[in-house]
Each structure stands twice: as structure tokens, then as C-alpha cells.
Amino acid sequence: MKLSQYFSNDDGSLPEVEIAFQAESSVATAFELLYVLGAKNATASGGHVWIRAAQVEKPFSGSADALLVTEGLADPFHVVLGGICGTNQIIPDLGVFVSTEGLILDYRMGPEWGQAEIESFSELLRKLHSLGGTISAAWWGEDGERDFQAALKHS
């Protein structure tokens, strides 16, 4: 299934793909996987995480910050990660929102999304699914959801 229609035309939006997990511990594992697959922080100003008990913001420091969220020590946060490879192809930068329920990946559509990048992103989603994640592309409506689910079944 070709997904290029969901990536090629930059309309200024940031489409989202949600990955929900039953176990909060899986959220931290999934976020760590992004780093195993090459993620580097590309957030403007580096990003920050709100620490609940101290009521202070601390600089985002990497994959371990997801564990702070799942343990209830920090609020959910959003960062931009670059350099992730689902296959051997680097995926364009992804926004990643981390909460106790899962991850929400957002992306900027545009010409940098060729077939190899889309396949690499699809493989990333398959890997997150293999960790117990339920993938949803509700952003694109029923047709888009069906297209994404069909693409994820092909390996």
C-alpha cells in the first residue's frame, strides 16, 4: 500500500500517529528504542521536562526522561528527534510526545518524504507495534487509518 499521499504535500499541518501501550513501562522502552535506532535531540533550545516534586523545569536529557514520566515524576513532554532509522534510511525529523499512555509521533509533510523514508517510518511503526503498541493514524480519517494499517501488515 502506497502511503505517499499522507507525506508528500506540505500543507503546514503536523499529522500525528499515535502509539498506545497497555503497560506504562512499555512507553519508556519504546522511547528508548528511538535512541537505539539513531535518535538525536533536534528540539529548538534542547527541550525541557517539568519535574513535579521540585516544581522546576530541567533540560531534556534523553531517553531516560520518558521513565520519569511513566513513574509520575515528570509531566508529559514533547521533543523533536532526528536521525531515526527504521530501515537503513534516515526518517525526517519526528516530533515525539511522551505520556503515560504512549507516544504520539508528528511529522512535517513535504518532498523529503520519498518512498524509502516512508518505508523506514513504516518499519519504525512495526517495531513499536512489536513492543505491544497499538498504532492509530486517526489524523487521516477512516481511509487513512485503513491505509496505514494495511501498510503496517506488509513487511
Whole-model pTM?
A: 0.94
Alpha helices in the chain (DSSP H): 24-36, 64-70, 115-130, 141-153
pLDDT, tens digit (0-9, with 9 covering 90-100), for 62-99 = 999 999 999 999 999 999 999 999 999 999 999 999 99
Cβ atoms of 154 and 45 within 8 Å: the answer is no
| Domain residue spans of the chain | 12-153
pLDDT over threshold 70, residue 108: yes
